[in-house]
A and B are shown apart, each in its own frame.
Chain A
Amino acid sequence: MSPRTPGADLPEHPDRLWSAAEPKSSYDVVIVGGGGHGLATAYYLAKNHGITNVAVLERGWLAGGNMARNTTIIRSNYLWDESAGIYEHALKLWEGLEEELDYPLLFSQRGVLNLAHSLQDVRDSVRRVHANNLNGVDAEWLDPEQVKQVCPIVNISPDVRYPVLGATFQPRAGIAKHDHVAWGLARAAAALGVEFIEHCEVTGLQVRDGRVTGVETTRGTIAAGRVALCAAGHTSVVAATAGIDLPIQSHPLQALVSELLEPVHPTVVMSNAVHVYVSQAHKGELVMGAGIDAANSYRQRGAFHIIERQMAAALELFPVFARAHVLRTWGGVVDVSPDASPIVGLTPVENLYLNCGWGTGGFKATPGVGWCFAHTVANDEPHPLNAPFSLDRFTTGALVDEHGAAAVAH
């Protein structure tokens, strides 16, 4: 391996790609939240539906929420048909997104291994591989030796607490650079006329006769023909101002990176049973995520014992990491739904649209949900791919239960 300066092959830090706007008194569509989903929704509203009088209102800075904090795993190997539909749609869009946005996203299809550690894991995983194949999602079952071929640093010895009994492999899965994704989407949406208003917190939804008419913000009242919620961890708080209760709970979710290392990890490895997932960023950091903190919280920091447990799991799977140092840890606030599937669609309030509940795994969906949610907002009707993810499924019982089913975390 030839010596290289970590990060040498990365593009230069870009100049300003959009200009911060002053709020106008009214817009056709107001999007609450400037994370990946808000940006993608704005982009496809303009691009696919010609709706350009759009403002994205962001309480902090653009894409400074979970979009800036996630571990960027992209995959579509979910169990159920409904999930395969929307996540595979997203993955197909990812495959053309750099070209479409004309912006480097560092989208790298290096594959993902979802490890199985028990007989039940093995059965569930093989079942998921079959389901994926039937849905046109690439997936294969690998035995431990084959796992080792894909990722030589994984410990497959049988004498560990949770031995690796095999893994599912999705070769088209991978990672992308989250900041670049946000910048690329923002630049493209801005070029089509979308405005971005930062440091503008929506404090209330205005509803008259069962119909949303605008938003109250820390920068004044803004009238809106339609309002699209993309507020991730804060959706309950915003929706409550229109009298809408949601079946979601906000939890901290943490991740960490090591110092920069030479390339040692060629793919993405996830293990639900021991609750860790690892990839190596382009710059060289090992990127590792944990599970959520159990207790509800809006604090963007989690408990240390979660990190400790995650590192213990990582070390057993990757003994070579023992000498790496943690560079930093951080947390985001994610909105978890009862069936570990998102809620995307109409609400009881007219012209108010809901996109939330993506929990620990919404980054991978960014272009797909933007596409479908823009369709929902533009047509006042869900796109067929997000129709199953309606709010009323919790009443009808038509859940899309990805808990456990699909190696669900992230």
Chain B
Amino acid sequence: MLLIPCPWCGPREEAEFHYGGQAHVAYPDDPSALSDEEWARYLFFRDNPKGRFAERWSHSAGCRRWFNAVRDTATNEIHAVYRVGEARPVTS
């Protein structure tokens, strides 16, 4: 089980959190202007790196706030957590 440092509450067990997948995927400005390929990419394609991954979590059984984390999917180590709206921190 992961120990996830909520930016508001501090480290808590993974069981308190809900996963939100890749971070920084913006809803398209003008969806109806997209081609089928562009819409498919927005809807179905997410990065799946073996390594550092910026992702969303919600502290659903705690403060109920969403935040972002940079976690290494090869080791599960969490390198940074940051608030929604902030840029992805450089983690080397």
Contacts and interface: CB of A to CB of B under 8 A. Distances in A.
A249 B36 contact: no
Interface size class of A (residues with CB under 8 A): 20 to 34
A17 interface: no
B73 A250 contact: yes
Contacts of B36: 395-397
A338 interface: yes
Interface of A is mostly: loop
Contacts of A236: 48-50
B45 A247 contact: yes
A282 interface: no
Given A394-B40, A395-B36, A395-B37, A296 B15 contact: no
A297 B75 CA distance: 8
B48 A299 contact: no
A298 B74 contact: yes
Interface in A282-325: 294-299, 303-305
B74 A295 contact: no
Interface string B6-41: 000000011100110100000000000000110011
B2 interface: yes
A295 B43 CA distance: 18
Contact of B2 (A249, A298, A303): A303
B44 A338 contact: yes
Contact of A295 (B13, B46, B71): B71
Interface string A87-104: 000000000000000000
Interface size class of B (residues with CB under 8 A): 20 to 34
Nearest to A294: B19
Contacts of B19: 294-295
A394 B40 CA distance: 6
A192 interface: no
Given A237-B50, A294-B19, A305-B15, A299 B44 contact: no
Contacts of B71: 295
Interface string A139-174: 000000000000000000000000000000000000
A299 B74 contact: yes
A245 interface: yes
B48 A249 contact: yes
Interface core residue of B43, B49, B50, B71 (most chain A CB under 10 Å): B50
A188 to B, nearest CB: 33
B78 to A, nearest CB: 10
Contacts of B41: 245
A299 B41 CA distance: 26
B52 to A, nearest CB: 12
Contact of A303 (B14, B43, B49, B73): B14
A281 interface: no
Nearest to A307: B1
Contacts of B18: 294
Interface core residue of B2, B36, B48 (most chain A CB under 10 Å): B48
Contact of A249 (B1, B13, B14, B46): B46
B76 A394 contact: no
Interface in A226-265: 234, 236-237, 245-250
Contacts of A297: 73, 76
A236 B45 CA distance: 11
Contacts of A304: 1
Contacts of B46: 247, 249
B46 to A, nearest CB: 6
Nearest to B14: A303
A295 B50 contact: no
Q: Which 4 A-B pairs have the closest CB atoms?
A: A294-B19, A236-B48, A247-B44, A395-B40
6 contacts: A245-B41, A250-B73, A295-B14, A296-B21, A304-B1, A394-B45
Interface of A: 234, 236-237, 245-250, 294-299, 303-305, 338, 394-397
Given A297-B76, A395-B37, 6 more contacts: A246-B48, A249-B46, A294-B18, A299-B73, A299-B75, A395-B36
